[in-house]
Chain A
Amino acid sequence: MDTFLQQIVNGLTLGCVYAVVALGYTMVYGIIQLINFAHGEVVMIGCMVAFSVIVALAGSGMPPLVIVGIGILAAVPVCMAVGYVVERVAYRPLRNAPRLAPLITAIGVSIILQHLALLVWSRNIIAFPQIIELKLFHLGSDASAAAISNIQVAIIVTSIVMMATLLLLVYKTRIGIAMRATSQNPQMAGLMGVDINGVISFTFVIGAALGAVAGVMVGTYYGIAHYQMGFLLGLKAFSAAVLGGIGNLGGAVLGGILMGLIEALGAGYVGDWTNVCVLNDFLPGFQDVCSATPDASLFGSNYKDVYAFIVLILVLVFRPQGLLGERLGDRA
Chain B
Amino acid sequence: MIPDLLRKHPAARWVGVALIVVALAALPFALATVGTAWVRITNLAILFVLLSLGLNIVVGFAGLLDLGYIAFYAVGAYTYALLASPHFNLHLPFWVILPIGAAIACFFGVLLGTPTLKLRGDYLAIVTLGFGEIIRIFLNNLSEPFNLTNGPKGITTIDPIRILGMDFANTTRVGEIAISGTIKYYYFLVFVLAIVIVVNLRLQDSRIGRAWEAIREDEVAARAMGINTIHMKLLAFAMGASFGGIAGGIFSAIQGFISPESFILTESVMVLSMVVLGGMGNIWGVVLGALLLSFVPELLRYSVEPVQRWLFGRSLIDPEVIRMLLFGVAMVAMMLFRPAGLFPSAVRKRELTVRDNAR
Residue ranges of A at the interface with B (Cβ–Cβ < 8 Å): 34-35, 89-90, 93-94, 96-105, 107-112, 114-116, 118-119, 231-232, 235, 238-239, 242, 276, 289, 293, 296-298, 300, 302-303, 305-306, 308-309, 312-313, 316-317, 320, 329-332
Chain B 233-246 near chain A by CB (<8 Å), digits 1 or 0:
00000000000000
| Smallest CB gap from A113: residue in B | B328
C-alpha gap A289/B146 in the complex (Å): 8
Task: Kindly identify, within residues 113 to 140 of chain B, every residue whose CB is under 8 Å from any CB belonging to chain A.
Answer: 115-116, 118-123, 125-127, 129-131, 133-134, 137-138, 140
Once the chains bind, are A105 and B336 in contact (CB under 8 Å)?
yes
C-alpha gap A160/B351 in the complex (Å): 45
Summarize B's interface: helix, strand, loop or mixed: helix
List the A side residues contacting B330 at CB < 8 Å. Answer: 108
Once the chains bind, are A99 and B121 in contact (CB under 8 Å)?
yes
List the B side residues contacting A305 at CB < 8 Å. Answer: 133-134, 137
B179 at the interface (CB under 8 A from A): no
Assuming the contacts A99-B122, A100-B121, A115-B321, asked whether A108 and B130 have C-beta atoms less than 8 A apart, the reply is no
B4 at the interface (CB under 8 A from A): no
Once the chains bind, are B125 and A35 in contact (CB under 8 Å)?
yes
Once the chains bind, are A331 and B118 in contact (CB under 8 Å)?
yes
Once the chains bind, are A107 and B352 in contact (CB under 8 Å)?
no
B125 touches which of A103, A111, A119, A306 (Cβ 8 Å): A103
Question: Can you report 24 A-B residue pairs in the complex whose CB atoms are below 8 A from each other?
Answer: A35-B125, A90-B332, A97-B353, A99-B121, A103-B122, A103-B125, A104-B65, A108-B273, A108-B327, A108-B328, A108-B330, A111-B269, A112-B325, A115-B324, A235-B126, A276-B145, A303-B137, A305-B137, A306-B134, A309-B127, A312-B126, A320-B119, A329-B118, A331-B119
C-alpha gap A298/B133 in the complex (Å): 19
Task: Kindly identify, within residues 315 to 338 of chain B, every residue whose CB is under 8 Å from any CB belonging to chain A.
Answer: 317, 321, 324-325, 327-332, 334-336
List the B side residues contacting A105 at CB < 8 Å. Answer: 331-332, 335-336
Once the chains bind, are B145 and A107 in contact (CB under 8 Å)?
no
| Smallest CB gap from B63: residue in A | A100
B219 at the interface (CB under 8 A from A): yes
B272 at the interface (CB under 8 A from A): yes
B220 at the interface (CB under 8 A from A): yes
Once the chains bind, are A107 and B219 in contact (CB under 8 Å)?
no
The 6 A-B pairs of least Cβ separation, nearest first, read A108-B331, A111-B328, A112-B328, A296-B145, A108-B332, A309-B130
Once the chains bind, are B116 and A316 in contact (CB under 8 Å)?
yes
B358 at the interface (CB under 8 A from A): yes
B352 touches which of A97, A109, A111, A302 (Cβ 8 Å): A97
Task: Kindly identify, within residues 72 to 91 of chain B, every residue whose CB is under 8 Å from any CB belonging to chain A.
Answer: none
C-alpha gap A77/B344 in the complex (Å): 40
C-alpha gap A272/B302 in the complex (Å): 52
B324 touches which of A111, A231, A297, A308 (Cβ 8 Å): A111
